[in-house]
Chains A and B, each alone.
Chain A
Amino acid sequence: MQESAGTPSGQWLLDVQGLCTWFHTRRGVVKAVDGVSLRVKQGEILGLVGESGSGKTITGFSLMNLVDQPGRIRADRLHFDGRDLQTLSANDYRALRGRDMAMIFQDPMMTLNPTLRVETQMIETVQAHESVSRRAARARSIDMLTKVGIPAPAERLTVYPHHLSGGMRQRIAIAIALLNSPKLIIADEPTTALDVTIQGQILYEVQKLCREMGTALIWITHDLAIVSGLADRLAVMYAGRIVETAPTAEIVRGAQHAYTHGLMASIPTFDTRGKKLFQIPGSTPSPLNMPKGCPFRTRCYRATPQCIEEPVFEEVAPAHGVSCWHRGVEA
């Protein structure tokens, strides 16, 4: 079960190469994730950015092996913490989920079971992975609720989710994710459903906790502005692929892919005040009808006939990769 860490993935906590998650439906194959490669170091925060339908969420679920039927996961390499995830049995994967790799969902109103007390849901999460007493599990839950900034945690434990606000529920979901001190947390737009003030607080707290506990974080979002203040590195996703990845500062300073330019330009700043905000023309292509070659070429201002051919993912600088025929810093 415990495979020794191969040389290339030695420094990586998560090493994913060529991840494909395809849904075989009656209308055709939906390639929701089509060749994603991601690497995350211990304690690193990676921002996974892309618009709706780009496959970010499915990428997260694929890593957790929680893709619904008829989804199929395949990868050239899928290593986590020195183990090959593709060889894990269903039960080993279950033991991994929630202990080494946890996930936070988008909508806090739906993630907690409405018919069970907060207490029940926290304690069962601890007891699923360790044989500890209820009392010890409860103490750990209170401790974790305190850490995520919930006042009067002992009282919160005994209530049902519907007694709590959205922000409070999301904090509880985060506390649950942190309960077993995982090595990696996948956060799927956890602040999208919350108002801006709560968003800021939660963002700050999650970042702080991950730094403290040395937990790596994949923060999935469509909001580049939010994640650029949080992440060490960004990966920009489009139509099921990573089109550009680089350290955050490098993306902000010199993004190479036309899509990343578009995303950067659509962030409101003081300079754009009063002016019309930039908008990437068109919308994400249907996954059933993906353009040949570069999937972005139909919306790209740099597109040429060459883009019919599949672009190659190349490193332009250390740790900065782009998949584009016409890459370059914006003129």
Chain B
Amino acid sequence: MSALVFAALYMIGDPVLMLASPEAGDAERELIRQSFGLDLPLWRQYLIFLNKVFVHLDFGKSFLTGEPAIGLILDRMPATLELATAAMLFAVLIGVPLGIYAGLKPESFGARSVMTGSVLGFSLPNFWVGLMLIMVFAVFLHWMPAGGRGPVQAFGPIQLSIFSWAGWRSLILPVATIAVAKCALIVRVTRAATRECLPQDYIKFARARGLSEARVLGVHLLKNILIPIVTVAGLEYGQVFAFAVVTESVFSWPGMGKLLIDSIITLDRPVVVAYLILTVVFLSLLNLVVDVIYTILDPRVQSKARA
């Protein structure tokens, strides 16, 4: 992965052209090249890079600002994290009940509307939904700001905007933009799982024991359909976190996605590489967490692993 990213990035463009002023002569350019180690052959650059990353945990400095790349990214991470988390939370909290409802009464008008809505939800392009929301709620109604992040509170090095009303006002539109698509997906997964689980004998047996409908659905059904839901929600959460580029650009949300797109445009290699490697680490961790949740949800997974 690191080799792939490294090679791909080094093949496109020459950052020296971006760094040096247009009036700079060849000698000045050569100087810049040497100071960043860009004159060395590619394989040596890669080995130096590997040595720094894995031995010293040093991802290099941004060509543009001269600050450590990793620090730039970590600074932006809380903004993306709160955006992604809030969006997935909404998607799950709204999507799961709607999905169960659509699975219980597949023929009803309400269920059909939900399913039609979900097709729209994940077919509409993200940026378009974002722009429409801005147009309606920010431009016409003036309810919310059109972009940017609200006031933040600092918790040590982490700055979050979710603890104030003003913060939420800025957050709600980008969150809605992401949540619409993710919610649509969760609705479909939940509905399919519900339809599969309902005819099972243990649901009927639960009813035959005289359990209340709330318990049958809320415990017996839910515990069995959560596995596919957690799988999809986990994957999607990773997606949102790592590639919220479009939404963050539309709402000029100062998160990692915005940083990534800016860095790609300015050919700020260390930032892009550090970003992608961090993303890989994050996604791997996320998958691990999802696997751990499996064993909690389904005791059969645990005994298979032990056997």
Scan residues 78-102 of chain A and give those whose CB is less than 8 A from a CB of chain B.
Answer: 94-99, 102
B201/A116 in contact, CB under 8 A: no
Q: Which listed residue (A102, A103, A113, A162) contacts B202, Cβ 8 A?
A: A113
What's the least CB distance linking B154 to chain A, in Å?
A: 42
User: Which segment of B4-12, B135-143, B297-305 sits at the interface?
Assistant: B297-305
A14 to B102: give the CA distance in the assembly, Å: 37
A107 to B200: give the CA distance in the assembly, Å: 11
Nearest B-chain residue to A91, judged by Cβ: B212
A115/B224 in contact, CB under 8 A: yes
Given contacts A111-B202, A114-B202, A114-B298, contact A128 B209 (CB under 8 A): yes
Given contacts A115-B299, A124-B215, A160-B299, contact A68 B210 (CB under 8 A): no
Given contacts A113-B202, A114-B224, A124-B215, contact A64 B300 (CB under 8 A): no
A68/B209 in contact, CB under 8 A: no
Inside 8 A of A246's CB, which chain B residues have their CB?
none
What's the least CB distance linking A194 to chain B, in Å?
A: 15
What's the least CB distance linking A144 to chain B, in Å?
A: 13
Q: Check B124 for interface membership: any CB of A closer than 8 A.
A: no
What's the least CB distance linking A217 to chain B, in Å?
A: 15
What's the least CB distance linking B229 to chain A, in Å?
A: 13
Q: Check A219 for interface membership: any CB of B closer than 8 A.
A: no
Scan residues 278-307 of chain B and give those whose CB is less than 8 A from a CB of chain A.
Answer: 297-300, 303
Q: Which listed residue (A64, A94, A112, A116) contacts B223, Cβ 8 A?
A: A116
Nearest A-chain residue to B297, judged by Cβ: A115
B202/A98 in contact, CB under 8 A: no
Q: Which listed residue (B201, B210, B299) contacts A97, Cβ 8 A?
A: B210
Given contacts A115-B224, A115-B297, A162-B303, contact A98 B201 (CB under 8 A): no
Scan residues 23-40 of chain B and give those whose CB is less than 8 A from a CB of chain A.
Answer: none
Q: Check B207 for interface membership: any CB of A closer than 8 A.
A: yes
A113 to B205: give the CA distance in the assembly, Å: 9
Scan residues 215-261 of chain B and give those whose CB is less than 8 A from a CB of chain A.
Answer: 215, 219-220, 223-224
A97/B303 in contact, CB under 8 A: no
Nearest B-chain residue to A61, judged by Cβ: B204
Interface size class of B (residues with CB under 8 A): 20 to 34
Nearest A-chain residue to B107, judged by Cβ: A69
What's the least CB distance linking B209 to chain A, in Å?
A: 4
Nearest B-chain residue to A114, judged by Cβ: B300
The B contact surface, by secondary structure, is helix
Contact with B along A32-61 (1 / 0, CB 8 A): 000000000000000000000000000000
B211/A163 in contact, CB under 8 A: no
What's the least CB distance linking B302 to chain A, in Å?
A: 9
A162/B300 in contact, CB under 8 A: yes
Q: Check A12 for interface membership: any CB of B closer than 8 A.
A: no
Scan residues 190-211 of chain B and give those whose CB is less than 8 A from a CB of chain A.
Answer: 199-202, 204-211
Inside 8 A of A162's CB, which chain B residues have their CB?
299-300, 303
Q: Total contacts A to B, CB within 8 angstroms?
A: 78
Given contacts A94-B212, A95-B210, A115-B297, contact A173 B224 (CB under 8 A): no
Inside 8 A of A94's CB, which chain B residues have their CB?
207, 210-213
A107/B210 in contact, CB under 8 A: no
Q: Which listed residue (B210, B224, B299, B303) contacts A98, Cβ 8 A?
A: B210
What's the least CB distance linking B14 to chain A, in Å?
A: 57
What's the least CB distance linking B78 to chain A, in Å?
A: 35
A116/B220 in contact, CB under 8 A: yes
B208/A64 in contact, CB under 8 A: yes
Q: Check A110 for interface membership: any CB of B closer than 8 A.
A: yes
B206/A113 in contact, CB under 8 A: yes
Most interface-central of B202, B204, B219 (chain A CB within 10 A): B202
Given contacts A68-B199, A110-B202, A111-B201, contact A98 B223 (CB under 8 A): no
A98/B199 in contact, CB under 8 A: no
What's the least CB distance linking B306 to chain A, in Å?
A: 11
Inside 8 A of A105's CB, which chain B residues have their CB?
201, 204-205, 208
Q: Check A72 for interface membership: any CB of B closer than 8 A.
A: no
Given contacts A68-B199, A96-B210, A99-B210, contact A163 B303 (CB under 8 A): yes
Inside 8 A of A110's CB, which chain B residues have their CB?
200-202
Given contacts A111-B205, A114-B224, contact A98 B300 (CB under 8 A): no
Inside 8 A of B224's CB, which chain A residues have their CB?
113-115
B212/A66 in contact, CB under 8 A: no
Contact with B along A116-127 (1 / 0, CB 8 A): 100000001100
Q: Check A145 for interface membership: any CB of B closer than 8 A.
A: no
A112/B202 in contact, CB under 8 A: yes
What's the least CB distance linking A101 to chain B, in Å?
A: 9
Inside 8 A of A128's CB, which chain B residues have their CB?
209-212, 215
Given contacts A97-B210, A124-B215, contact A66 B204 (CB under 8 A): yes
A105 to B200: give the CA distance in the assembly, Å: 12
Nearest B-chain residue to A70, judged by Cβ: B107
Inside 8 A of B223's CB, which chain A residues have their CB?
113, 115-116
Q: Check A242 for interface membership: any CB of B closer than 8 A.
A: no
A-B contact pairs, 12 of them (CB 8 A): A64-B208, A66-B207, A94-B210, A95-B210, A97-B210, A110-B201, A111-B201, A114-B224, A114-B300, A128-B215, A160-B299, A163-B303
| 3 nearest CB pairs, A to B | A98-B210, A110-B201, A98-B209
Instruction: For the A-B complex with A110-B200, A115-B224, A162-B299 known, give 19 more contacts whose Cβ atoms are closer than 8 Å.
Output: A64-B208, A94-B213, A95-B210, A97-B207, A97-B209, A99-B210, A102-B209, A105-B205, A110-B201, A111-B201, A111-B202, A111-B205, A112-B202, A113-B202, A113-B206, A125-B210, A128-B211, A160-B299, A160-B303
